[in-house]
Structures are given as C-alpha cells and as structure tokens.
Chains A and B, each alone.
Chain A
Amino acid sequence: MTAILTNLFDGVAYGMLLFVLACGLAVTLGLMNFVNLAHGAFAMAGGYVCMVLVNRMGWPFFAALPLAFVSSAAIGIVLERSLYRHLYARSHLDQVLFTIGLTFMSVAAVDYIQGSSRVFINLPAALQGQFDLFGVGIGRYRLMIIVICGLLTIGLQMVLAKTRFGSRLRAAVDDPRAASGLGINVPQVFAFTFAFGCGLAGLGGALSAEILGLDPYFPLKFMIYFLIVVTVGGSSSITGPFLASLLLGIGDVAGKYYVPKMGPFVIYTMMIVILIWRPNGLFGRTAAR
C-alpha cells in the first residue's frame, strides 16, 4: 500500500515537472500551430545555466532557478524574433526540419562546451533525502517540485483567466485576424508567450537535472514526452496538458516500477492508443488545426 502511495507521489512529481517543461510547447504547438521539436533545447539551456551557476560559481540553488528561467526566456525571444517568426506561415514539414536542425545544433554545441557526460547540480542539504509521512516515503526534492510546479500552474491559470494579457492571448489564439483588428498586437503577444514558455522550460530543465538526468541528448530523449503531453492533452486550456502530464508521469513511474522490463513500452503504447482513439487529444478541442 505504501509502495503504491510512494509511487503515486513520485509520479505526480514527475508529471508536474513534465507539465512545466511542456506547457510552453502547448502554446506554440497547440495554440500557434507551430511544430517546435526544439523545445527541449530551451529546457536544456536552462538546466545547464543553473548547473554552471551552482556548481562553478557557487550560487545558491534557489537563486539560480530564476536565472535559468530568465536565460532560457532570453534565448527564446532572440530566436523567436530572428528565426521562428518567419516560419509561422510555413508548412509543417518546414517547421519540423527547421526545429530538428536547431535541436541537432544545440546537442552538438552543448556537447562541445560541456562534454557529453551527465551533469548533476549540487543541491542544498535541506533538499536531500526523504522523510516518512504516515509510512509513505516522501522525497524532499520531489515535494519541492510539486510545490513549485503547483504554484506555477495556479499562477498560469490565474494569468490566463483573469488578466488583461490572458484575455489578449486567448483572443489572439482564437482568431488572430479579428484580434489584430481589435488593436491587439498579435505578434507581440505571441513573442512574449513564446519567450515565457521557453523560460518555463528552462526552469523545468533546471529542476529536472536531478530526476530526469541532464546531458546533451536531453532534447532528443524527452522530445517525445513533451509532444505526448501536448497532443494527448489538447490545447483548449492548460488543464488538458496538465492532466495529460500527470497521467504520463504516473503511468511512466508505475510502468517502470511494476513492469521494469517493458521500459518505455507502456508510455508509447498508451500514446498511440489515445491518439487513435481521440486524434485531437483527450481533453479539449483540437491539438492542431
């Protein structure tokens, strides 16, 4: 019983992490209809920035996290303004090729700068180990992830639902032409959202170094996971991707625990079955128009 609860807890933490990593992609892929396979590269950038700050320059972990966010967002906005912008109207094939190219470049570049082995971020002592809660083993680090990601999710939902920017974004996504007719600067809204999504990925990358493992092949290894979250979750709200990431996280942890020999088999089968059953995602309207 306790093993099940511990697994559930780990799965939730894993899922939350996936959500933070992938929710930027939910916007670009689901809402702006841009196939961005390079999303993991932004996450990796954030992770490596955090690693360098903490391990090499001795920053405290919690001070390095915001910087991981900022640096990934900065890279995101530069690339969006210089390159991505030109490809919004292109075919999916072009977008796929372009972002695969970017991914390859990021993998080789990080390999060149930091070496190809897995890196670890030195965690403060307060985050290490685990404690028992009614007999259920709770990892401190995973608890922190759940807290941070939970707060972020609530914050995102609030921003989308309550603020002026949120309504602008929703309008721009629903009908870009009508929105720009109403005086909303659609490209600016998209650029800002893109950068914010990249920033979240960067934060997720920094947090995931401990759990998912951070090496130069991160963008390729986890690309499929991000895509699963978005395509399975749909894109009408952030609730869809959120539930999809929880499902994926719990499914993956449980799969690895109970049928370790099947490895990632469980996840891929789950994805294919869901996509066959509901090609537009489990929740919400369409994943791509």
Chain B
Amino acid sequence: MSAASDVGFHAQRQARWHYGEVVFWLVVLACGFAFPSRYLIMTDILRLALFAMSLDLILGYAGIVSLGHAAFFGVGAYAAGLLALHGIVNEPVLALIVAGLAAMVLGFATSFLVIRGVDLTRLMVTLGIALLLEALAERFSNITGGTDGLQGIEMQPILGRIPFDMFGKAGFFYSLTVLFLLFLFARRVVHSPFGLSLRAIKNNPLRAAAIGIPVNRRLIAIYTLAAFYAGIAGALFTQTTAIASLDVFAFERSADLMLVLVIGGTGYLYGGLIGAVIFRMLQELFSTITPQYWQFWIGLVLVVIVLVGRQRLHRWVLYVPNLVVKQVAGRKAVVAVPESDS
C-alpha cells in the first residue's frame, strides 16, 4: 500500500460515523423529551456548545489561540437583535443566517490581522478587537441601546409556522436543529483534505508551507468559518432570550469559552459539546453554593486543570469508558482524545 493511499485509508476510517456518536446525539435528543421543565438551561447549553465548537475549529484544528472570540458572538447577537427589532428580516432562520454572515464578514476582515505574528500578538489582537467592538457598541448607544441593551425584541414564528413559546420548547428544538446541522458541516470540513491540512499547519506551519499548503489562506478560511459559527451562536442567543446587551462582548465570555473547551478537550468537535454540559453544571453547582463568588471556583477549576495537565485529565476521565469498551467489545480503546495540543 502506498503512503498516499495509507493516509487516505486512515483519514476515511477516522471520518466514518461511530456508534458512540449516534448514541451521543440520540441521548441529546432524548434529553429534549425527558426534561420538559429544563428547556431554558438546555437551550443555553446548546448555544454554548455551538460557540465552543466554533472556537474548537480555530484552536483545536488550526492552533490559533483567541482571547476575543466573543467579538463574533456579539456581532451575531446584535445583528439578530437589530434585524428583529426593526423588522428588516422577520423570519428567524433567515435572520440567523444573515447574522452569521455579518459575523463572517468581520471574521474575514480581521483574519488578516490575526494571521500576522506569533501567539502573543494574536492574543493581543483578538482581545483588542473584542474590546474595540464593546467600546463601539457602548459609543453608538442610539443603535445598540448602550448599557441597557436592545429591548423589546419580538420574535416571529420559525419558518412562519412554529412560534417561540414561553417554556422555550420551540427554542430548544430550533437550537438543537441548528447545532446538529452546523455540527454535520463542521464534521465534514475537519475530515476533508482541507481539515487535514489545517492539522498539518497546527503541528508545524513551516513544514506545512514546505509541502505546498497555502498556510495563510487556510488560516483565513477557517477563521472566517469559525466567525460564522460564533455569529450563529450569538444570533441564537438573541433569538431565544429576546435580549442583547453589552456583555455579549465581555472578556469573561471569551475566557469562559476557553474553559468550556478545555474541560471538553480540543480537536475532536465533541469537546465543545461535552464541555458546555459540564461547564453549565459546574456553574449551577457553584452558584448554589456561593451565588456571588462562583467565579472563584471556576478560576480554581482552570488552575487545577492546567496544573494536573489536560492530557492526563482526559486519560483519567476516559479510563472507565475505555475499560468498558475493552471488556465488552474486546478491542482496543476507541474512545480517545486524538489530538494533543501544544
């Protein structure tokens, strides 16, 4: 077997759907029917999961560390809010896409700034862009509502048929559908030759360039795509909660997002989804213990995760599932976090 077909074989095997993934999505769907009183928090988790998946695309696959991913979330949120408020695009699905495109345009424009320089410059530039947008949103308070945020947003029925209800049932299934569709697309992207080239860039940009991968163009493309995803997440936020305020741009949002992804693990797409569930549960737990100071415990979790080491932590978490798989199916561990990120 030649080297090229060997690579293709492994890539294709990676790309195939596993039973575990089907089970995962069935469980998510089942949650929607099993906990009818918890739609609001579950919708929140789905939004966060989509947002985290967006960061995973650039951090886990392309290795871009961003401290300002909330910029795109915020643009999506305000775009969706303004579209609904002024009745420009009334239909939520269409508005969602328009809002995503708005964030995408910003992502494309700023990607040229981000691909320059090393990690540290990237951190600064992404952080700077998010802060800049927050300052702008505060400045143009006649459009954005300033610190009060956009108020009085009324959402039209989805596709003109399904109205948003006060229990959030429609919102939940709407968000779930959007998340699933975008997940399918992201899954396709990361397993395509394009996705493989991104991993090559992440591992060693110099070598990737040497074998003929257009490094900058690939980075711009994935950054733009990630911005689109983040924008959709932001738009979902506005559409399901009917508010958009300045804190969509806040640094804490970007920082929390990092934590979500780190809890779940980067570079296999499910990290964001799993991380979002665990993060929200932790947050609920901490805020029931100390309503005002939950941030302390979140910080502690971050510190502990880093000190223990992310890889070691994931090995511990996956120890039991892998043991079960080994015993039941009689083969080597299939549940694994494939990528190490450095």
Binding site for B on A (CB under 8 A): 29, 35, 83, 86-87, 90-94, 96-98, 100-109, 111-112, 220, 223-224, 227-228, 231, 261-265, 268-269, 271-272, 275-276, 279-280, 287-289
B302: interface (CB < 8 Å): yes
Please name the residue on chain A nearest to B302 by beta carbon: A101
A287 to B136 Cα, complex, angstroms: 28
A111 to B292 Cα, complex, angstroms: 9
**Which B245-272 residues sit within 8 Å CB-CB of chain A?**
251-252, 255, 258-259, 262
By the criterion CB–CB under 8 Å, are A265 and B124 in contact? no
Task: Check A101/B120 contact, CB under 8 A, given A108-B295, A224-B128.
Answer: no
A132 to B319 Cα, complex, angstroms: 72
Size bracket of the B interface? 35 or more
A107 to B296 Cα, complex, angstroms: 7
A224: chain B residues at CB < 8 Å are 127-128, 131
Q: Mind listing 7 A-B residue pairs with CB under 8 Å? A: A105-B299, A107-B299, A109-B296, A275-B113, A275-B117, A280-B117, A288-B118
B277: interface (CB < 8 Å): no
By the criterion CB–CB under 8 Å, are A231 and B120 in contact? yes
A87 to B251 Cα, complex, angstroms: 23
B302 to chain A, nearest CB (A): 3
How many cross-chain pairs have Cβ atoms below 8 Å apart between A and B? 135
B307: interface (CB < 8 Å): yes
B251: chain A residues at CB < 8 Å are 220, 223
A285 to chain B, nearest CB (A): 13
Binding site for A on B (CB under 8 A): 59, 65, 67, 113, 116-121, 123-125, 127-129, 131-132, 135-136, 138-139, 251-252, 255, 258-259, 262, 292-296, 298-303, 305-307, 310, 341-342
A261: chain B residues at CB < 8 Å are 139
By the criterion CB–CB under 8 Å, are A263 and B139 in contact? yes
One of A83, A109, A111, A271 near B124 (C-beta < 8 A): A271
Task: Check A92/B121 contact, CB under 8 A, given A83-B307, A268-B131.
Answer: no
A263 to B65 Cα, complex, angstroms: 27
Please name the residue on chain A nearest to B305 by beta carbon: A97
A92 to B67 Cα, complex, angstroms: 12
One of B295, B296, B341 near A91 (C-beta < 8 A): B341
A107 to B251 Cα, complex, angstroms: 14
By the criterion CB–CB under 8 Å, are A102 and B120 in contact? no
B124 to chain A, nearest CB (A): 5
